[in-house]
Structure 1
Amino acid sequence: MSMIEVLATLKAKDIQLALKGDQLLVQGNKQALSEPATLALLREHKPALIELIRAGRYDASTAGRVEVPANRIPADARQITPDMLPLASLSQEAIDRIVASVPGGAANVQDIYPLAPLQQGILYHHASATQGDLYVLQAQFAFVGHERLAAFVQALQGVIDRHDILRTAVHWEGLEEPVQVVWRQATLALEEVVPDPADGPVAEQLRARFDSRHYRLDVTQAPLLRLVYARDEAGQRLVASLLFHHMAMDHSALDVVRHELQAFLLDQADGLGPAVPFRNYVAQARLGTREQEHEAFFREMLGEIDEPTLPFGLQDVQGDGGASEESGLGIGPGLSQRLRLQARQAGVSAASLFHLAWAQVLGALSGKQQVVFGTVLMGRMQGGGDNDRALGMFINTLPLRVDVGSQPVLAGVRATHARLTALLRHEHAPLALAQRCSGVLAPTPLFSALLNYRHSAAPSSAEPSAAWQGISNLSSQERSNYPLTLSVDDLGAGFSLTLLASAEVDGARLCGYMHTALEHLVQALEQTPQQALDRLSILAPAEREHLLRGLNDSRVSFPPAQTLHRRIEAQAAATPQALAAVCLGQSLTYAELNQRANALAHHLSALGVGPDERVAIVARRGLDTLVGLLA
């Protein structure tokens, strides 16, 4: 492993180094520091790390990061020129056109810089959608009255004022590359809508009216949020939908917003500390690892993959998520503890076990041993740094290849962890670059399933803060353009699974497959770590029994042997008016069929037709043919 890879691994695990005399001091993520593989890595490279620190080439606060160019736009700028934008490459004409679209002109432009990788993908879906926008999300709240609504609006405006990403607009028309423009001031839009009492509950009306399948936000105007509310006379309250664009916030950002809203509502915003500029992340993504390094990595991982991984044959990754259904399943304390213990003993992260189990499920569903699926990256597996209190799209979706063939279980776990760790070094690579490094030809997607492993706060049973008195959270909404998206919430002690799946798929059954895969994986690590991965089943015993034996139990009890005409006669006697046959708009009951066949049979007998004599039937396809054959 090169020193660059060593530093990338330590960064991913949130481990910092320092020197005290001749001793190497190691601090940071306690769980990572208890992993045997991490300790072995530090021991192996200890001399080189010490020399790196002594030479001044390592700094715990900046290891693995790039130097972020300063923002050169002065607060009193009357015109913005290309040299003021170190992160963007724009002509003066393009800058002037962008500035003209900003209320207040140049004086209201704080910064201009490119989009982060996942923002680019989201913008593609926004620009190509003919109606609606998959990535307009909703969170619904209820307020006891206008006073609490006003307090909420004021607090949210305070959060917007703090964070550049919430004061951002996106421009792409006529540009070689899209950019985001940070306004110095962007006011939250508040709109009242009038519900129709005949259309049902107010909350459902708002949700339907601003559903992302037909509603769009104007992303060229900041902020990328909007609050709409309506009076709920039946509930004696106000119901509001906070509409926000996924280009501005991801799942973890919502937790930061809630935390800061609470601080503003309690008049404690001074204790929040400085906001982390989103431009820092964009600079890291733009100025970090070179594109050639990204391409070399993905070609090595994906170059021999010439068929996509499409569970159930699902391949529409351009959908609006409107037909998706959500299923959930908790993982009990016992299995959760066993998963963490086995991860620690194997020297890997718990996330690696979940990635391998998901690969087993997808491999079984698609008939693949070399499985590729998307994984959501950017500090969600390890955490650390300032990103835990920053807002913005601090995530990226990239393909991960996991082999689930005949290699031993323990080796498969460690290989998955190694590939995930290596992928973290390329977390800023564009998805389009990664996909074109495979042998799968466009427009066929490389994968159609996603795994989002995220650290989440466990549900709290404590009383809500006084800040939220008179304010309640009704619901939130998540959507994905992938037909299968599994979110794993790491709750600190336990885990939970949430699956967004196409309506064609039984989501609850898939969650069950994932749970069984985890059970069998941890059991193999405990008892038979050298067992082949492809010998582990994703089927629970009851379903396996049903598939192998229940569906193959085709024994049928038939009455004693009878000729066909005797069986027709018996049916005519039992249910004479039951429908026997339908053809070309005509029908016969069993009584009619039996009567006509008998009449023809007696006629043939009168003509001298006996047993084993051949009779030709000349007739078009229809009921007459059936009568003739039966006679």
Structure 2
Amino acid sequence: MTSVVDTYELSPMQAGMLFHGLSGGAAGAYIEQVVATLHEPLDEAQFIRAWQRVAERHPVLRSRFRWEGVAQPMQDVIERVQIPVERLDWRTLAEAERQQRFQALLDRERTRGFELDQAPLMRLVLVRAAECEHWVLWTTHHGFLDGRSRFLLWQEVFAFYEAFLRGRDTELPLPRPYRDYIEWLRQLDDDSAKGYWQGVLSGYRAPTPLVVARDREAENVKGDSCGTHEVRLSAVLTSALRKRAREASVTLNMLLQGAWALLLHRYCGESDIVFGVTRACRSFLEGAGDMVGLFINTLPIRMRVDPESELVSWLRQLRAQQVALRDYEHTPLVRVQGWSELPRGMPLFESILVFDSHTLDAQLRALGGAWSERRFLGLGHTNYPLTVVAYGDRELLLQIEYSRKRFDDAVVARMLGHLQTLLEGMAARPEAKLKDLPLLTEAERRQLVELWNRTSVAYPPARCVHELVEEQAHIRPEALAAEGGGRRVTYRELDERAEALAGQLRTQGVQSNSLVAVYLERSIEMLVAILGVWKAGGAYVPIDPEYPAERIRFMLEDTQAVVTLTRKHLAAVLPASDAAVLHVDASQGSVDGRSGRRLERRPMSPQQLAYVIYTSGSTGHPKGVPIEHASLFNLICWHQQAYDVKPDDRATQIAGPAFDGSVWEVWPYLTAGASVHIPDASTRLDAGLMVRWLAERQITLSFLPTPLAEAVLRENWPETAALRVLLTGGDKLNQRPAHKLPFRLVNHYGPTENSVVSTCAEVTAEGARNAAPPIGRPLPNTRAYVLDRHLQPVPIGVPGELLLGGAQLSSGYWNRAELTAEKFIADPFRPEPGARLYKTGDLVRWLPEGDIEFLGRIDHQVKIRGLRIEPGEIEACITRHAAVREAVVIAREDIPGDKRLVAYLVSASPPADLADQLRALIRAAMPEYMVPAAFVLLDAFPLSPNGKVDRKALPAPEAAAYAGRGFEAPLGDIESALAQIWCDVLKLERVGRHDQFFDLGGNSLMAMQVVSRVRQRLVTELPLRELFAAPTVARLAARIEVLRAQPGSAPAFDALTWLASSGQSPGVTGNREQTEL
């Protein structure tokens, strides 16, 4: 019979760990392991005897948790325990097999865990690796021991062991028991602590986000896999860091905290940074330094990063905060969180930084003698997604422990390199401003800035585009140039008609760089008009006849167009302006090229304007983008080489006349002798009709806007189709082609300001990470940078703004000098004068293989309850699901003050639990606050006139969408009682039998309230882990029925009621500690 000799309360840290264990937390969390390598003979019997003697001395080594049958969780001290010991003899094994078996042993012991109500919460494995080499594996639960305790215990074990070997015993001073610390904690007053922490966290409403692109699927990680990366800094760098810390009157630990805050700032773009730190908490109680137990505490550090601040002064601000913190370092984290302004259930932070003055190995070896030949390795993982551990030895050791469900190995390796680079910058440049401290390693910076922008290609000297068309008219005059609207035109006819029009334009005063409005639909006349404008020396301004009159009037006034080209039937609705109006209707004879007379040639430069296309502007008025012939020439050269354009190619003109895609659809082909085919309006809007038309016309290359391209990819293609490349762009592509399709699919991206196309990527049936296709790499003679707001390159996988430069860049906005200065900036990475970059406003990130992933518009970023959210990141995660074709995430505020994330999906065959699957997928990769509140299935997304998703037209979700499936009333007494309990706790009017507790807004605190009320109302003892395992009313009711059927089932404990009242929740404790004070 086990005899309990003492019982006392838990510390807040212990309570948090107990909650984690009861709620079915990750296997291996709060499991600590120490591996001792002993190059000496080992008397196993005496060694085990020494461990037993140490257990007799220290109550915590004989303690267990008890939560049943008590008003609040307690810890019992058992009179005597037997330490479990396993002995293994591997002397006959090869070295490689020994190492492999030992790694398996470590994993087995970690995942095995402990029964928390069974003492002792520790065990030993003794491995005889060679005649004079032994490996000792000591596995413990973190709930009773911290790092200082492990150091003290190893000393005691070997003190007794060495005495026993000599046939003697030894007496060691007995430290104060852990109970004394618990009693001391009970005397602390919360009032002053509450005021302090409320002041520290005032205005803080969202955890610092840390979302980085993954190198692979989160679903590939099975179980609760954790990883560790480490780097050891040189003694020279470590010494320099210590010197900088002294100069700033801070500790090395504080300097490391500053570096981590800067890294988080650079990764997420926020200036208000919060992360966790551990405190040793042994300085206030007399004799605590020699006590054995769990003393550490994890608390938030809040740092405001002003990029203009100087490093030293900023670190001194941190020091002042740390000094003030010392008086309140024992405050339980759960109380701190309760005093904060964060929503219930949301963690204060997602990463923690732990500083130990020395590793366990260094501390023990410093004892000298036989210790110098022994080696000790400590292993363990917290319950946080990311933990930074620093050991302040002569050579600073940095480790990052991480959950592989959130972060990839390569991502964390790069992150560790960035932390090292920041520290190197701090050591070298103490006078630097924070924004000037380097983050990227030299190799990574060179890769992002130089290697991935080595796009220089020597094309022929730039020429005006119409000159290239004229050459084709001379080479192949009778070849088909264009076809549409039931009519065809040869290169000779096209050239002659354009020549005649150019003559009329010159008589109207058109000269070099004059602007001519082209008010026409997609048609052969549109092609004639553009060529005519160019031949006359002018630049064209396309105006879609479908535009509202006010927009058309603004464009005509803004450009001061000399002439407007249109057709007779459109002229009647053309808003009045000062421009002369010319009709281009061939049937009316207004423009007839049969005279054969050629215009007098005037000198023309490739630097002359080719066109001015207007795009939407944030001020309510569109903004004009002028593009030169030289820029268009670069686009044409790339296109013709990339897609091997030949005279026998047949291309399409699908895009609207005022959409810059129409430029790209036409001129790479008419300058190569190929033909352009224009479908009617009904065909370009119907995927089935489009596929048949493409096959009938034997089209070989076609550009389709993204939504239409995704639709035709799902169609059945006839064997007679001649298409060899399908080009797409204009919106985010989510779909990949099927294996059977006989043509290539290439995704393109580019703003009007950089001549239509800036990057491209071929899209295959299977893509990396099963994610949405990327937008690829920059075109020849184009530069692409992903930068933060201070124009510094961001790391691979971290979101930033895409900036573009190179041969295709516009000179700026028409008549908008202020906006031009804002958006077109000097290129900080190029030495040549005049080099500029365009700030696209698009949120992207580099992928590890060198492609760019499009995430969305920066102006689509939203804030919900103070949390900044990038919808594009959530969309990218959702589209990894095989059943999802397209996804759009927006923030809706259908009820004033109640803003929620809503995900809209297009899926051909959605499973019944698609919303639940998507929630699980997102939770595996992102923080909880990025999980949409509702998922809405649509047959197709509403589109704007330019073929992009019209986010404003997305419908409001029905109420059932927020619960994940349609409402279904509870069945039976137990389900009804549970539903009422949930309503009471969650403050809801009704709850369905299939509604998920946590999807309805439940959190760990509410979960404990549910357990408590189930005990009271249903007279059933419900383990907390059951609610996590069965989070719907129906499933939980079924579990309660099973529990009630078990013999002896009766209400027994109030532990979780106490935990709920004290605010304990999983994920709020750490298992590392800080020993520098």
TM-score (norm 1): 0.65
1:361 aligned partner: 263
Greater share of helix? 1
Pick one of 288, 304, 308 that aligns with 1:403.
Answer: 304
Structure-2 change in CA distance of 1:450 and 1:204 (3 Å): same
| Partner secondary structure for residue 204 of structure 2 | coil
Moved more, 159-168 or 401-410: 401-410
Structure-2 change in CA distance of 1:611 and 1:272 (3 Å): closer
1-side partners of 2:251 and 2:724: how far apart?
A: 71
1-side partners of 2:678 and 2:222: how far apart?
A: 64
1-side partners of 2:677 and 2:75: how far apart?
A: 89
One-letter code of the match for 2:433? A
Structure-2 change in CA distance of 1:419 and 1:621 (3 Å): same
Deviations 1:376-402 (CA, angstroms, capped at 9, x unpaired): 10258x899634432211211111101
Say whether 1:299 aligns with 2:204.
Answer: no
2:30 aligned partner: 135
2-side partners of 1:176 and 1:278: how far apart?
A: 21
Say whether 1:168 aligns with 2:63.
Answer: yes
Say whether 1:422 aligns with 2:517.
Answer: no
Structure-2 change in CA distance of 1:342 and 1:261 (3 Å): same
1:390 aligned partner: 291
Say whether 1:553 aligns with 2:454.
Answer: yes
- Is the Cα–Cα contact under 8 Å of residues 302 and 401 in structure 1 kept in the other structure? yes
2-side partners of 1:334 and 1:474: how far apart?
A: 25
Say whether 1:226 aligns with 2:162.
Answer: no
Pick one of 518, 532, 535 that aligns with 2:423.
Answer: 518
| Partner secondary structure for residue 311 of structure 1 | coil
| Partner secondary structure for residue 450 of structure 2 | helix
- Equivalent residue runs for 1:82-481 within 5 Å: 103-104=2-3, 108-109=4-5, 111-129=6-24, 132-140=27-35, 148-191=43-86, 201=98, 202-212=101-111, 215-229=112-126, 241-267=137-163, 270=170, 272-288=172-188, 290-312=189-211, 322-379=224-281, 386-405=287-306, 406-456=308-358, 459=362, 465-466=369-370, 476-481=378-383
2:734 aligned partner: none
Say whether 1:567 aligns with 2:644.
Answer: yes
| Partner secondary structure for residue 509 of structure 1 | helix
Offset of residue 245 of structure 1:
0.8
One-letter code of the match for 1:287? Q
1:586 aligned partner: none
Structure-2 change in CA distance of 1:314 and 1:456 (3 Å): farther
- Is the Cα–Cα contact under 8 Å of residues 278 and 390 in structure 1 kept in the other structure? yes
Offset of residue 276 of structure 1:
2.9
Deviations 1:25-46 (CA, angstroms, capped at 9, x unpaired): xxxxxxxxxxxxxxxxxxxxxx
Offset of residue 312 of structure 1:
2.1
> Identity of paired residues, percent?
26
- Equivalent residue runs for 1:47-66 within 5 Å: none
Offset of residue 167 of structure 1:
1.8
Q: Greater RCO between the two (CA within 8 Å, min separation 6)?
A: 1
| Partner secondary structure for residue 206 of structure 2 | coil
2-side partners of 1:341 and 1:541: how far apart?
A: 24
- Is the Cα–Cα contact under 8 Å of residues 181 and 285 in structure 2 kept in the other structure? no
Say whether 1:508 aligns with 2:413.
Answer: yes
| Partner secondary structure for residue 486 of structure 1 | strand
Structure-2 change in CA distance of 1:167 and 1:487 (3 Å): same
1:62 aligned partner: none
Deviations 1:224-273 (CA, angstroms, capped at 9, x unpaired): 212245777x9898765322111121222221121111211122874632
- Is the Cα–Cα contact under 8 Å of residues 134 and 321 in structure 1 kept in the other structure? no
Larger radius of gyration: 2
Deviations 1:44-77 (CA, angstroms, capped at 9, x unpaired): xxxxxxxxxxxxxxxxxxxxxxxxxxxxxxxxxx
Structure-2 change in CA distance of 1:346 and 1:144 (3 Å): closer
Say whether 1:537 aligns with 2:438.
Answer: yes
Moved more, 113-122 or 616-625: 616-625
One-letter code of the match for 2:172? L
- Is the Cα–Cα contact under 8 Å of residues 208 and 275 in structure 2 kept in the other structure? yes
2-side partners of 1:263 and 1:247: how far apart?
A: 25
One-letter code of the match for 2:396? F
One-letter code of the match for 1:150? A
- Is the Cα–Cα contact under 8 Å of residues 192 and 229 in structure 1 kept in the other structure? yes
Deviations 1:561-592 (CA, angstroms, capped at 9, x unpaired): 8969993789xxxxxxxxxxxxxxxxxxxxxx
| Partner secondary structure for residue 354 of structure 2 | strand
Offset of residue 187 of structure 1:
2.8
| Partner secondary structure for residue 245 of structure 2 | helix
Moved more, 616-625 or 160-169: 616-625
One-letter code of the match for 1:274? L
- Is the Cα–Cα contact under 8 Å of residues 488 and 496 in structure 1 kept in the other structure? yes
- Is the Cα–Cα contact under 8 Å of residues 260 and 269 in structure 1 kept in the other structure? no
| Partner secondary structure for residue 217 of structure 1 | coil
| Partner secondary structure for residue 196 of structure 2 | helix
Offset of residue 342 of structure 1:
2.5
Structure-2 change in CA distance of 1:399 and 1:617 (3 Å): closer
- Is the Cα–Cα contact under 8 Å of residues 273 and 304 in structure 2 kept in the other structure? yes
- Is the Cα–Cα contact under 8 Å of residues 276 and 353 in structure 2 kept in the other structure? yes
Offset of residue 359 of structure 1:
0.7
How many residues in Structure 1 have an aligned counterpart in Structure 2?
A: 474
- Is the Cα–Cα contact under 8 Å of residues 31 and 113 in structure 2 kept in the other structure? yes
| Partner secondary structure for residue 551 of structure 1 | helix
Structure-2 change in CA distance of 1:569 and 1:136 (3 Å): same
- Is the Cα–Cα contact under 8 Å of residues 122 and 139 in structure 2 kept in the other structure? yes
Structure-2 change in CA distance of 1:206 and 1:473 (3 Å): farther
2-side partners of 1:428 and 1:611: how far apart?
A: 78
2-side partners of 1:256 and 1:125: how far apart?
A: 27
One-letter code of the match for 2:644? R
One-letter code of the match for 2:418? Y
| Partner secondary structure for residue 266 of structure 1 | helix
2-side partners of 1:265 and 1:130: how far apart?
A: 37
Structure-2 change in CA distance of 1:186 and 1:500 (3 Å): same
2-side partners of 1:354 and 1:344: how far apart?
A: 13
- Is the Cα–Cα contact under 8 Å of residues 362 and 371 in structure 1 kept in the other structure? yes
Consecutive unaligned residues of structure 1, counting only runs of 5 or more, are 1-101, 571-609
Structure-2 change in CA distance of 1:207 and 1:558 (3 Å): farther
- Is the Cα–Cα contact under 8 Å of residues 52 and 82 in structure 2 kept in the other structure? yes
| Partner secondary structure for residue 411 of structure 1 | helix
Consecutive unaligned residues of structure 2, counting only runs of 5 or more, are 461-636, 648-673, 680-692, 697-714, 726-742, 744-1077
Offset of residue 287 of structure 1:
1.4
| Partner secondary structure for residue 419 of structure 2 | helix
- Is the Cα–Cα contact under 8 Å of residues 168 and 182 in structure 1 kept in the other structure? yes
| Partner secondary structure for residue 380 of structure 2 | coil
Please tell me the root mean square deviation across aligned C-alpha atoms, in Å: 4.1
Offset of residue 545 of structure 1:
3.1
- Is the Cα–Cα contact under 8 Å of residues 263 and 269 in structure 1 kept in the other structure? no
Structure-2 change in CA distance of 1:436 and 1:547 (3 Å): farther
TM-score (norm 2): 0.40
